[in-house]
């Protein structure tokens, strides 16, 4: 599996690189970062950006084992939802994660950065799971469990439960010569 993380607009490239480094210790995939992509989409009346519009701007994966996840500072919205931490478009092999609601509201700066990094890693894995065909998991510690509030994200582990890992193991393997 090849996962490319794409910093969008003002997302800190250093944080995106830290997410990539952390995820390399969690999943056995090739994880890279790309140069930043600027999109400048207008927000709605609340200043939120449509996640589907962002997803359409990301480079789609042309192969079954190649996907990209954008990371943005923008607050995202999706049809029928007030906000989303992230959103996926499996058909294009893309996903997007918003850092906006993942930032701790108080606390020491160093602790806040660690919390943001951990939350961002979990949300990137969650959206990657959706891109790969996983649905929400009933196991509240699994990264694929639905997060209705940030406390749900904090309870999750940064990894897939055995059932979701089993689903992922059924995916066709990529070959370097394809």
Is 47 within a domain?
Answer: yes
Determine, yes or no, domain membership for 162: no
Give the count of domains, the chain.
1
Q: How far apart are CA 121 and CA 103, in angstroms?
A: 13
Among residues 123, 127, 167, 176, which one is catalytic?
127
Supply the range of the domain harboring residue 44.
2-135
Residue 158 lies in a domain: no
Reported as a pLDDT band with limits 50, 70 and 90, residue 108 is low
Q: Has 53 been annotated as catalytic?
A: no
What distances in angstroms separate CA 12 from CA 33, 35, 58, one per listed residue? 12, 11, 17
Q: Which of 89-103, 107-121, 163-177 is predicted most confidently? A: 89-103
pLDDT in tens, 24-51: 999 999 999 999 999 888 888 888 999 9
Find the CATH number of the domain harbouring 108. Answer: 3.40.390.10
pTM of the full structure: 0.92
- Is residue 173 domain-resident? no
Q: Is residue 147 part of a domain?
A: no
pLDDT digits (tens, 9 = 90+) for 56-103: 999 876 677 789 999 999 999 999 999 999 999 999 999 999 999 999
């Amino acid at each position: 599996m090849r996962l490319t993380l794409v910093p969008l607009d003002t997302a800190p490239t250093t944080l995106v690189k830290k997410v990539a480094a952390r995820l390399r210790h969690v999943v056995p995939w090739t994880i890279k970062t790309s140069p930043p992509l600027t999109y400048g989409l207008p927000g709605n009346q609340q200043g939120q950006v449509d996640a589907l519009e962002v997803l359409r701007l990301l480079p789609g994966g042309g192969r079954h084992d190649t996907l990209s996840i954008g990371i943005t500072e923008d607050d995202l919205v999706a049809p029928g939802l007030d906000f989303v931490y992230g959103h996926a478009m499996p058909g294009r092999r893309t996903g997007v994660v918003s850092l906006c609601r993942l930032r701790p509201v108080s606390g020491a700066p160093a602790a806040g950065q660690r919390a943001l990094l951990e939350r961002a890693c979990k949300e990137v894995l969650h959206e990657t799971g959706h891109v790969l065909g996983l649905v929400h998991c009933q196991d509240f510690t699994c990264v694929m469990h639905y997060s209705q509030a940030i406390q749900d994200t904090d309870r999750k582990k940064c990894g897939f439960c055995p059932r979701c890992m089993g689903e992922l193991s059924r995916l066709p393997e990529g070959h370097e010569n394809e």
